[in-house]
A and B are shown apart, each in its own frame.
Chain A
């Protein structure tokens, strides 16, 4: 594990990340590595810096100190954005003007398209496949605003899948999502991982994704308190587990005890 942390076969490498939002330090020297082909889950209580860490890892938040490499390239010089699929934490996929499911998913092809060039047959096929992958094929031409929250989240997952990335970065893809949508997503993710690609996923609750996870990194107060295989030892997960004491799902599974 230690060797792969520093090796060039890592798709994401974060070293000594310090992030400051406003006046508040959110990350205090965090290291994170996603080796190629692994599914790494980022766990921790609310406010532990999970979202900040993934957002910094793909350059959405500047770091006060530390460095990020994507596919071995320092973030500042990284240009192969078609290799990264990002699913932001959102409650809606809608905006001020209606957009169909297909239109939103088509944005996922942007990293592969040039300005003023029309979409190729390959672009259209990738969009159709991604819409099918999340099970919204029969609603592709509906307005996203008319879908349920879980279905809208699936639209955002399809958008990232349409990119045909080598790395998926997901920020709480299951937050507020109904169980059928969570299972549909786990199914889609299993297909994705089966072809040897990598995933970095922020999770609040394991749900149906649990079996897919190779490694868990637990953050607490902006620091890594556990980095290793599941199940997370009781000691380090204490705070997290406590946080979820009211969640029958986590308790039932006895995963973290």
Chain B
């Protein structure tokens, strides 16, 4: 009997696929902002959310998403206000999240062992209802991550510049925090809350070794997220381990393989010549074919330049030099 004949495995594999796509989509922006550990902080807080679900009998997916989102927004606001540095704010959430989770689970009468499935994932616990929620959330995260890429890229690359471009930076940073919180909840069933951050960061770090641009890194990271998360779930089916562990180990193996490959690519690129535009070196460059005669009346704005006059022509400055024009 093939593993795909089991309903629970179909659901687990679908959940893994969605997680593998959503986690790097948010993770790329977190790594770009140098907030790689934010996923960990949110994961710990989500644990308290799960415990709230166990205590109240509500679905842990929903309580986790509410608490994780609140935690993520808190991190963002504390960071933006400068009340505490980002790492201290994150550390507080780590402690509070774990302690709150264990405390509330104890109050609920469950033992901490019940949390294990949420901490490291479990292939048998994805229900149909879970899958619907996970699917909708993952697609929303992917849609935002791809559709708002120019805005999110600018905010994560240079926050101050983005503000000077009229981009509502505060709104977008909070959006990234919420996307991260949602992703943590999506990933809770497969890779688990304690290791979810690895799936946000490791595929990006691996892609980073091999690419030169942001879009390329983003797309490659999506692929590098899907492969370990699906194969990790399959591995967990044959060998009875928590899928979170196998997913992360496979992702890290990918990183280890990409490292020497990336070093080789970098060496090859460095060897390429360091070409410069001859105009910059102050060398003589003639304008392309130029049948037009510049004069005071030609309509091209004239600009005095030292001892002669340049004419502004299609964004270039042209100066008469004998029978042709020079680029100035």
Within residues 13 to 55 of chain B, which ones have a CB less than 8 A from any CB in chain A? 28, 31-34, 36
A81-B166, A184-B277, A194-B303 are contacts. A96–B214 as well, Cβ < 8 Å? no
Q: Cβ of A98 and Cβ of B279 under 8 Å apart?
A: no
Which residues in A have their C-beta under 8 angstroms from that of B211? 98
Contact pick for B281, options A81, A111, A116, A180, CB 8 Å: A180
What B residues does A60 contact at CB under 8 A?
A: 160, 163-164
Contact A142 B212 (CB under 8 A): yes
With A95-B157, A183-B280 known as contacts, the answer to whether A103 contacts B310 (CB < 8 A) is no
Residues of B within 8 A of A106 (CB): 150
State the Cβ distance, B302 to closest chain A Cβ, in Å. Answer: 8
Q: Does B258 sit at the interface, judged by CB under 8 A?
A: no
Q: Does A133 contact B (CB under 8 A)?
A: yes
Q: How far is the CA of A79 from the CA of B157 in the complex (A)?
A: 22
Q: Does B129 contact A (CB under 8 A)?
A: no
- Do the beta carbons of A107 and B150 come within 8 Å of each other? yes
Q: Are B204 and A97 in contact (CB under 8 A)?
A: yes
* Given contact pairs A60-B160, A96-B31, A98-B208, A191 touches B315 in the complex (Cβ within 8 A): yes
Determine how close the nearest CB of chain B comes to the CB of A169; give it in whole angstroms.
Answer: 8
B212→A141 contact, CB < 8 A: yes
Interface residue A229 (Cβ < 8 Å from any Cβ of B): no
Whether, in the assembled complex, B312 has its beta carbon less than 8 Å from a beta carbon of chain A, the answer is: yes
Q: Counting CB contacts under 8 A, is A33 at the interface?
A: no
Contact with A along B268-290 (1 / 0, CB 8 A): 01100001110111100000000
Beta-carbon contact of B213 and A184 below 8 Å: no
Say if the beta carbon of A181 comes within 8 Å of chain B: yes
A55→B206 CA distance, assembly (Å)? 37
A113 close to chain B: CB less than 8 A: yes
Given A60-B160, A98-B213, A194-B312, the answer on whether A116 and B147 have CB atoms closer than 8 Å is yes
Size bracket, chain A contacts: 35 or more
Q: What residue in chain B is nearest A146 (Cβ atoms)?
A: B269
Interface size counted on chain B using CB atoms at 8 A: 50
A143 within 8 A of partner (CB): yes
Chain A residues within 8 Å of B33, by CB: 95-96
Q: With A84-B164, A106-B150 as given contacts, are A143 and B305 in contact (CB-CB < 8 Å)?
A: no
Query: Does B316 count as interface, using CB distance less than 8 angstroms?
Result: yes
A111 contacts which of B166, B276, B279 (Cβ < 8 Å)?
B166
Q: State the Cβ distance, B33 to closest chain A Cβ, in Å.
A: 7
Question: Does A138 make an interface contact (CB < 8 A)?
Answer: yes
A137 contacts B212, CB within 8 Å?
Answer: no
Q: Report B-chain residues with C-beta under 8 Å of the C-beta of A102.
A: 213
List of B residues within 8 angstroms of A191 by Cβ:
312, 315-317
| Cβ B276 vs Cβ A190 within 8 A | no
Q: Which of B160, B161, B276, B303 has the most CB of A within 10 A?
A: B161
Alpha-carbon gap, A250 to B101, bound state (A): 65
Give Cα A142 to B301, complex, Å: 35
Q: What residue in chain A is nearest B306 (Cβ atoms)?
A: A211
- Cβ-based interface call for A104 (8 A): yes
Given the known A-B contacts A95-B156, A113-B150, A116-B147, are A86 and B301 also in contact in the complex, defined by CB atoms under 8 Å? no
Considering the chains assembled together, what is the distance between the CA atoms of A139 and B269 in angstroms?
Answer: 12
Query: Once the chains are docked, how many angstroms separate the CA of A115 from the CA of B163?
Result: 15
Interface centre among B153, B164, B306 (most CB of A within 10 A): B164
Determine if A107 and B157 form an interchain contact, defined as CB atoms under 8 angstroms apart: yes
Once the chains are docked, how many angstroms separate the CA of A159 from the CA of B36? 26
Rounded to whole Å, the gap between the CB of A22 and the closest CB of chain B is 10
Within 8 A of A (CB), among B135-161: 147-148, 150-151, 153-154, 156-158, 160-161
A59 beta carbon closer than 8 Å to chain B: yes
Query: Counting chain B CB atoms within 10 Å of each CB, which of A137, A142, A194 scores highest?
Result: A194
Asked if B170 CB lies within 8 Å of chain A CBs, one says no
Query: Can you list 26 A-B pairs, Cβ within 8 angstroms, ordered by A?
Result: A58-B164, A60-B160, A82-B166, A93-B158, A96-B34, A96-B156, A97-B28, A97-B208, A98-B213, A102-B213, A103-B213, A104-B157, A106-B150, A107-B162, A108-B165, A109-B150, A110-B154, A111-B167, A135-B279, A141-B212, A146-B270, A163-B165, A180-B282, A184-B277, A187-B279, A194-B312
Interchain residue pairs A-B with the least CB separation, the first 4: A81-B166, A135-B277, A100-B213, A86-B164
Chain B residues proximal to chain A, CB less than 8 Å: 28, 31-34, 36, 147-148, 150-151, 153-154, 156-158, 160-167, 204, 208, 211-215, 217, 269-270, 275-277, 279-282, 301, 303, 305-306, 310, 312, 315-317, 328
